[in-house]
Amino acid sequence: PVESTSELLKHYEVYETIGSGGFAKVKLGIHILTGEKVAIKIMEKKDLGVRSSLVKIEIEAMKNLSHQHVCRLYHVIETSSKIYMVLEYCPGGELFDYTIIISALAYVHSQGYAHRDLKPENLLIDEDHNLKLIDFGLCAKPKGGLGFELLTCCGSPAYATPELIQGKAYIGSEADVWSMGILLYALLCGFLPFDDDNCMVLYRKITRGKYSNPHWLSPASILLLNQMMQVDPKRRLTMKQLLDHPWVMKGYSTPVEWHSKHPLGHIDEDCITEMAVAFKQSRQRTIQLVSDCKYDQMTATYLLLLAKKHQGRPVRLR
């Protein structure tokens, strides 16, 4: 780790705090070389305590995720007292478009991760009004793959599954499908299916699995919600079934497209050319440094230059 904030200030202009949550503060930043806006998540090591392991989990997970609807990690800087995560800027605030959530989650599961903390607060909108899934601090990547059982009880109570509340071993992808059912209900109804100020009462409601269907819900929506919020996880809809469910596909002829448009490891020639010239080094050397993907200034410059290209802006460095 570098000793001071100098490493951060060498590559970024840091502006006002744009949000905070848990043990992090998020500030607006500008990456000097590309001019691109970024969100800088700042964590004080002394405040983290045991949670520093959750930060490591989030960083390791996000290093392995590259998808149009997953908030991108560009750069990690660790000093003696702080951890900085430079992230894709999503100024659109919290909102969600449901089929995009399914796409983002199907991709995360395809990479072997379960998010485990799905809720409206973790779905942001970027400058072009695209949805971005955030906060992988509670995600899990079971060693033997997603089919293996998890035990950690985590996430927000109102979105927790009956099996998790009862302390049973559970399958991450089945838990995420239940949470998406809660999300869909909140989107369609404007309130949560299971809610109570008293945690124990809330848990009893969830394990009973009974909730009201407001009169404005269509029969198709009532059916889908019922299939997703099945107390028995083995009776619950699977992610695969969700991708081509009639309700989800209504009006479309193809299942939800969930594959990443920006797979990890892809090398863009234009960005390499611009960086080789700007850093006065050979293309081969530049390709090597970018491929190493150390989530340092090289990674941040490459990924932010690529983001510029995807937004149709010139692939130029300052």
Ligand X SMILES: CN(C)C[C@H]1CC[C@H](N2C(=O)N(C)Cc3cnc4ccc(-c5cc(Cl)c(O)c(Cl)c5)nc4c32)CC1
- Shortest reach from residue 50's CB to ligand X, in Å: 17
The answer to whether the beta carbons of residues 91 and 19 sit under 8 Å apart is no
**Does residue number 26 form part of the binding site for ligand X (CB under 6 A)?**
yes
Q: Tell me the site size for ligand X, rule CB under 6 A.
A: 19
Q: How many CA atoms lie within 13 A of 41 on its CB side?
A: 23
Q: Nearer Cβ to ligand X, position 135 or 174? A: 135
For ligand X, the closer CB: 93 or 251: 93
Backbone angles phi, psi at 59, to 5 degrees: -65, -45
Compute φ and ψ for 289, nearest 5 degrees: -65, -40
Residues 122-151 touching ligand X, rule: CB under 6 A, are 124, 134-135
Supply the minimum distance, in Å, between the C-beta of residue 218 and ligand X.
Answer: 31
User: Based on CB atoms, which residue is closest to ligand X, 18 or 248?
Assistant: 18
Name the helix (H) or strand (E) containing 36. none
Alpha carbon distance 169, 153 (integer Å) = 9
Stretch that binds ligand X, among 16-24, 175-183, 187-195, 200-208 (CB under 6 A): 16-24
In eight-state DSSP terms, residue 99 is: H
Non-local CB neighbours of 277 within 8 Å, separated by 6+ positions:
none
The span from the CA of 206 to the CA of 211, in Å, is 9
Which range of residues in 22-30, 45-53, 190-198, 289-297 is near ligand X by CB under 6 A?
Answer: 22-30
Q: How far apart are the first and last CA of the chain?
A: 27
Q: Measured from the CB of residue 156, what is the shortest distance to ligand X in angstroms?
A: 10
Q: Is 245 in the site for ligand X (CB under 6 A)?
A: no
Q: Select from 24, 48, 228, 239 the one that contacts ligand X (CB under 6 A).
A: 24
Nearer to ligand X, 13 or 149 (CB): 13
3-state secondary structure of 29: strand
- Of 97, 117, 195, 232, the catalytic one is 117
The two structure tokens encoding residue 76: 């990690």
**Interacting residues with ligand X between 83 and 122 (CB under 6 A):** 87, 89-91, 93, 121
Among residues 5, 14, 18, 207, the one that binds ligand X under rule CB under 6 A:
18
Pick 115 or 245: Cβ nearer ligand X: 115
Decide if 117 is catalytic: yes
Please report how close the Cβ of residue 17 comes to ligand X at its closest, in angstroms: 9
Binders of ligand X among 51-90, rule CB under 6 A? 71, 87, 89-90
d(CA 261, CA 268): 13
Inter-residue long-range contacts of 288-296, CB under 8 Å, 24+ positions, other chains counted: 291/265, 291/267, 293/63, 293/264, 293/265, 295/59, 295/63, 295/73, 295/74, 295/75, 295/76, 296/75, 296/76
Q: Compute the least distance from the CB of residue 73 to ligand X, in Å.
A: 7
Q: Which residues bind ligand X (CB under 6 A)?
A: 18-22, 24, 26, 39, 41, 71, 87, 89-91, 93, 121, 124, 134-135
**Catalytic positions, please?**
117
